[in-house]
Amino acid sequence: MQDLSSLYAFLVVGGLLSITPGPNMIYVISRSITQGRRAGLTSLGGVVVGYLFYMFGAAFGITAFFKTQPHAAQILSACGAVYMGWLGWNAIRPGGRSPLEIREQLPREHAGKLFAMGATTSLLNPKLALIFLTLLPQFIDETQGRVLEQSLFYGGLLIAMFAGVNAGMAIFSGSMANFLARKPAWLLVQRLLMGITLLALSAEMAIQAMG
């Protein structure tokens, strides 16, 4: 049974990360706007392959790391602090943009290629590996044991949030893009709130690493 306070905190952080612009989200949205909802959802199916690959890789790697390193939690907290800080800065830095600001149209492709390209985009995204490797350990209680089980539980939740947000983007990206094009201030507010929250999380992880 997971601690409810940790679970709620994970859902908040995971929710923020799921709406953070990245190659996978941009690819799914681009396909949806260019080729329609079905193409976007097909592309997302391929992207989920990458999610699963990195989740299982991270889960087994984290388990081994906790078993072999006496200061594993502090080391991973420090790595997480750096990465979350980098994400926060990229959200608020001048010149940042929303994934709904699509600048170019993509050629139309058949379903098999859309799925394969989605999987390739996801598997070749090193940021995805960093998210699983640095975020999951922050919510794992090694004193309870069952590190692998906890890793898979939180990893599964993270994939569900990522896939859910991207599915919503695939379905509604066309109308959202048109709406936000008329209200750019909304994009700025979203970016600032997300960036500030991620920077605060980075600071909390840094404190944990020094503890």
Percent of the chain at pLDDT exceeding 90: 15
3-state helix, strand, coil in the chain (%, to 5): 80, 0, 20
pLDDT given for residue 194 in this prediction: 67
Over residues 186-205, the pLDDT tens digits come to 767 767 776 777 787 778 76
User: What average pLDDT does the segment 89-109 reach?
Assistant: 65
DSSP class of 124: T
Note whether 128 and 24 are within 8 A (CB). Answer: yes
Q: What does the alpha-carbon distance between residue 33 and residue 189 come to, in Å, rounded to a whole number?
A: 23
Q: How confident is the model at residue 160 (pLDDT cuts 50, 70, 90)?
A: very high
Six-digit token pair at 56?
Answer: 């299982």
**What is the C-alpha to C-alpha distance for residues 173 and 188, in angstroms, rounded to an integer?**
17
Structure pTM? 0.69
Phi/psi at 93 (nearest 5 deg)? -65, 150
Q: What is the mean pLDDT of residues 108-120?
A: 87
User: Which tokens go with 92?
Assistant: 């608020």
* Token code pair at residue 134: 């640095």
* Long-range contacts of the stretch 184-192 (C-beta < 8 A, 24+): 187/97, 187/98, 187/100, 187/101, 190/19, 190/98, 191/91, 191/92, 191/96, 191/98, 192/91, 192/92
Share of the chain above pLDDT 70, in %: 75
The per-residue pLDDT for range 47-92, each reduced to its tens digit, is: 999 899 889 988 887 666 655 666 766 776 677 678 768 767 876 7
Whether the per-residue pLDDT at 170 is higher than 90: the answer is no
Q: Which amino acid is at 156?
A: G
Would you place residue 12 in the very low, low, confident or very high pLDDT band (cuts 50, 70, 90)? confident
Q: Residue 90: what residue type?
A: N
